[in-house]
Structure 1
Amino acid sequence: MIDLYYWPTGNGLKIGILLEELGQAYRVLPINIRTGEQKQEGFQAISANARIPAIVDHAPNGLSEPLSLFESGAILNYLANKAGRFLPPAGTADYQQVQQWLFWQVGHVTPYLSQLQVFKEKAPEPIPFALDLLGAEATRLYGVLDKRLSEAPFVAGEYSIADMAIFPWIQPLRQGLDLANYPNIHAWRERIKARPAVQRAYEKGREVAAGEKSLALQ
């Protein structure tokens, strides 16, 4: 059994998608980041960085004690490795393809797109410099992704944890981008949206916090 400490943000949703794709038994333990529950001492004992998502695996391979993990990229790698699915064997070129796109998501997509959303949605008044800077980077990142998806149906060739990591962060309406300009992203996004496991993950997110903007799939 996996305990998933979670809120349905982009980072939380990616773990929910993988767990649903794996058919893994898991329990959702909501951490309401809007009311500051992530700052509680009990949660920080599991997630040292006081951020969701985090997991506790009560049956880790080769260990006698439960294993706790934070950081979404590390969690995706761990769960996929354990199950032997959605991640090629370590040491192969295909494995490295998944890793480079996963790290691209962690290092570029989330930091820039999340900041763009904050400045667009929460700033007391528009800050043109920030909006221009982050908007330009969002446009660049969408261009990188669209180019890659012109070469393969999924970012690492086959559907993998890299796609699951990127997908929840492609929110064009929130980010002020038009998918008509990115036909390959649009087609990729529709393929992933149609997956039953993805639909289940988003439905479970709505059960936790239906109003979260990350749950919109326009």
Structure 2
Amino acid sequence: MIDLYYWPTGNGLKVGILLEELEQDYRLLPVNIRQGEQKTEAFRRLSANGRIPAIVDHGSALSDTPLSLFESGAILTYLADKAGRFLPPASTVERQRVQEWLFWQVGHVTPYLSQLQVFKEKAPEPIPFALDLLHGEATRLYGVLERRLSEVAFVAGEYSIADMAIFPWIQPLRQGQDLAQYPHIAAWRERIKARPAVQRAYAKGREVAANERSLSLQ
């Protein structure tokens, strides 16, 4: 049994998608970040960084006691390795392709696109320098993804945890991007949106917090 400590943001949805794809038995335990529940001492014992998501695996072969993990990239890698799906074996080129795109998402997509959303949606007044800088970086990142998807159906060739990590963060309306300019991203999004596991993950997210903006698939 996996306990998923979660809120339906881009980072939370990544792990929900993988668990649904794996048809893994798990419990969804909401951590309401809008009310500061991620700052509690109890949650920080699971997530040293005080951020969702985090998991507790009550049946890990790596430990005699329940294994807790935080950081979405680490969680995705662990769960995929444990199941032997959506992440190729170690010492293969295919695995390195998945890892490079997963790290691209963690290191570039989330930091810049999340900051853009904060400055657009939450700043008391517009800050043109920040908005211009972050919008420019969002456009660059969309360009990187568009070029890659012009070559392959999924970012690492086959559908993988890298796609699951990137997909919830591609929110063009929030990020000032027109998907008409990115036909390969648009087609990739439609392929992923059509997957039953993805639909289930988003439906469960809406049961937790229907108004979260990350749940929009527009």
Is TM-score (shorter-chain normalized) higher than 0.5? yes
Paired AA for residue 144 in structure 2: V
Name the residue aligned to 1:217: 217
Name the residue aligned to 2:9: 9
1:61 shift after superposition: 1.4
TM-score normalised by structure 1 residue count: 0.99
In 2, the alpha carbon distance for the partners of 1:50 and 1:173 equals 28
In 2, the alpha carbon distance for the partners of 1:122 and 1:41 equals 27
Matched residue SS, 2:35: coil
In 1, the alpha carbon distance for the partners of 2:118 and 2:140 equals 18
Paired AA for residue 52 in structure 1: I
The share of aligned pairs that are identical, in percent, is: 81
1:64 shift after superposition: 1.4
In 1, the alpha carbon distance for the partners of 2:35 and 2:191 equals 35
Match runs of 1:51-200 below 5 Å: 51-200=51-200
In 2, the alpha carbon distance for the partners of 1:63 and 1:4 equals 18
In 2, the alpha carbon distance for the partners of 1:68 and 1:62 equals 11
Matched residue SS, 1:172: coil
In 2, the alpha carbon distance for the partners of 1:151 and 1:201 equals 28
1:10 shift after superposition: 0.1
Paired AA for residue 157 in structure 1: G
Paired AA for residue 38 in structure 1: Q
Matched residue SS, 1:27: strand
Matched residue SS, 1:16: helix
1:160 shift after superposition: 0.0
1:5 shift after superposition: 0.2
In 2, the alpha carbon distance for the partners of 1:154 and 1:77 equals 17
In 2, the alpha carbon distance for the partners of 1:40 and 1:89 equals 37
The answer for unaligned runs of 5 or more in structure 1 is: none
Paired AA for residue 175 in structure 1: Q
In 2, the alpha carbon distance for the partners of 1:42 and 1:135 equals 37
1:202 shift after superposition: 0.2
1:213 shift after superposition: 0.1
Matched residue SS, 1:5: strand
Paired AA for residue 186 in structure 1: A
Name the residue aligned to 1:207: 207
1:62 shift after superposition: 3.9
Matched residue SS, 2:173: helix
Matched residue SS, 2:28: strand
Matched residue SS, 1:64: coil
Displaced runs of 4 or more, over 3 A = none
Name the residue aligned to 2:26: 26
TM-score normalised by structure 2 residue count: 0.99
In 2, the alpha carbon distance for the partners of 1:204 and 1:82 equals 23
In 2, the alpha carbon distance for the partners of 1:144 and 1:14 equals 20
In 2, the alpha carbon distance for the partners of 1:120 and 1:99 equals 30
1:57 shift after superposition: 0.1
In 2, the alpha carbon distance for the partners of 1:9 and 1:47 equals 16
